[in-house]
Every structure is written in C-alpha cells, then in structure tokens.
Amino acid sequence: MLIYALKRLLYLLPVAFGVSLVCFMLVHITPGDPLTAVMPIDASAEQQAEMRAAYGFDKPLPVQYVIWLGKVMMGDLGTSIASGRAVSTEVMRAVGNTLILSALATLIGFFFGCLFGFVAGYYRDSVMDRTASFLSVLGVSVPHYWLGMVLVIIFSVQMNWLPATGAGPGGSADWAWDWDHMRHLILPAVTMSVIPMGVIARTIRALVAEILSQDFVQTLAAKGLMDRGIFRHVVKNTAPTALAVMGLQLGYLLGGSILIETVFSWPGTGFLLNAAIFQRDLPLLQGTILVLAMFFVLLNLLVDVLQTALDPRIQRS
C-alpha cells in the first residue's frame, strides 16, 4: 500500500508541472491588456513601461513563466493588480470559505444521493424507484444558479427565514463556527448539493442493481443470510466507486462554484475568480486557478489511495 501511494505521488509531479503551464498560458492568451484596468487613461509611454517592468510583463513569455514558477514554488503567487495585496493571502482565505461550502454541499449530496440510489436499486421498477430516479435526474438537470435564486426568493424574501448573501452577519467575509454564520451557509450549500446528489444517486442505483443480480448475492440469500448481511456486502462493493464519485464531485464543486458564490455573494474562490475576471487582475486569476487545480489534483490522489485501501484489487491491477 505504501509503495502504491509513493508511485501515485511520483506521478503527481509531471501532472503538477502541466497544470502550472496550462494555468499560466490560459490567462495570457485572453485578449486585452490587464494593466489597462489600473493605469490612468492619460498614462505616458514611460509610465506604461515602468508598470510593465514592475509586473514583469516586459519579458518574453518563457522567461515570465520561469520567474513565475520559481516564485510559486517559494509560496509567492504575486501581488494583485486591483487591490495591491498579496495574492496568496486573498486566495487562501477564499479557499477556506469555499472548502467549508463545498464540503457541506458534498456531504448533503452524498447522503441523499446514497439514500435515493439504494432505494431505487433495491426496489427496481417500483414507484419508489421512479420517484428517486426522477429526483436524481431533476437534480442534475436544474440550473443551480436558477435554483439558488428561487431559494433566495422563497426562504429569504418571502419567509425571511435565512439570510441571502455573505458568510456572516452584515455581509462579513470572515467565517466563525456559530449559528449566525451557519445560517448563511444553508442556502448555498443546499443549492450546490443538488448536482452531486443526482450524480451519486444515479451511480449508486446502477451499482446496486448490478450487484443484486450477481451470483454471489443469490448464493448468500440461498444460504439463509439475512437481508442486513446482504446489505453489508452490497455497501462494501459499492463503496469504492461511491467514494471516487464523491471525490470527483467535491473537486468539481471547488472549481465550479463561481455562479453559486456570485448569486449568494459567498466570499470564496468562485466569487474571487469572478472579480478577477472582470477586473482583468492577471496575478489574482493565475493564483486562484493554480490553487484550485492543485487542490483537484491532490484530491484525486487522496481518493485513489482511499479507493485502493477499500478495494485491494485496484492495486493488483
């Protein structure tokens, strides 16, 4: 197991290099000059040259990449063009808020997804199967930003039960583990959980239906094993795939929460990305994309190791 984990860690190095190269190039091939957002309209040619030299934009792209990568490896993601603050400080605070939101949304989606999936798989072609399958398809099909606005209208505007924006009272961006802050987390977490719930439910339903039709389950039932024991075998066989799907959904939520965080003004990486895009803040955009991409890569590594621990056949193959 340790050797397998070390091999996967070695495979991570070229992937991380490729991710850094893609993150660097993506923001450079977009049209427009990012410095136009901070330079005065009547800036002279000398002022423009000084500004470009200060941010290193006067050098060729390969040189910029080498310098940028060297600073990144030292933990320096640069300085935000719009705010003048360190990118690492802004990104790390936003990542913490996004992790809290994504983790809760994934747990909600995983719980209800497994519930609907097992019910649909055990009671195939029944009313419960059709109901659970309908809810799963609906969760995947409904645009989550539209659902978020509907939830805000119902629970914030009409019923006045839950706050609509921010991470804390008064639109605060700082998180604390108390009820006043938890209330701000409910609506965006429920909205984000709909898509992973549908994906996990459909996956679990197909797995359970396939496992229940296999010979070993029929043999266990013929030998008199109780339904509880058969259920444990079904859970054990579905756990590796369910864990992999859950890990992928968490990774997707970390990087794809820009619409939800914008709707609810949640101060996470999605909200930060949205601001960086509109402000043409190149260092902030690069740093945020790189951190999210590396989180996704590391999460895949963790899921692979845990999946192998649950199912040693993966390691042998």
Name, in order, each residue with C-beta under 8 angstroms of 140's C-beta and a sequence gap of 6 or more. Answer: 195, 198, 199, 202
CB neighbours of residue 50 within 10 Å = 12
Residues 112 and 121: their CA atoms lie apart, in Å, by: 14
Give the number of domains in the chain: 1
Place of tokens 């984990």: 5
pLDDT tens digits, residue range 195-250?
888 888 888 888 887 777 777 766 766 766 666 777 777 777 787 777 778 777 77
- Is 81 domain-assigned? no
Residues 263 and 93: their CA atoms lie apart, in Å, by: 19
37: pLDDT confidence band, cut at 50, 70 and 90?
A: low
Q: Which DSSP category does 80 fall into? A: -
Place of tokens 């709909």: 194
79 bridge partner residues: 86
- Is 49 domain-assigned? no
Q: Note the pLDDT of residue 97.
A: 85
- Is 15 domain-assigned? no
pLDDT tens digits, residue range 162-197?
888 777 776 666 777 778 778 888 888 888 888 888
Q: Note the pLDDT of residue 36.
A: 64
Q: Note the pLDDT of residue 35.
A: 64
pLDDT tens digits, residue range 91-131?
888 888 888 888 888 889 888 888 888 888 878 778 888 88
pTM of the model: 0.75
pLDDT (mean) for 277-305: 80
- Is 10 domain-assigned? no
- Is 197 domain-assigned? yes
Residues 104 and 50: their CA atoms lie apart, in Å, by: 46
* Structural domain of 254: 89-316
- Is 25 domain-assigned? no
- Is 243 domain-assigned? yes
- Is 34 domain-assigned? no
pLDDT tens digits, residue range 245-288?
877 777 777 766 777 888 888 888 888 888 887 777 778 888 88
Q: At what angle do helices 269-279 and 87-122 cross, to 10 degrees?
A: 130
CATH number, domain of 94, equals: 1.10.3720.10
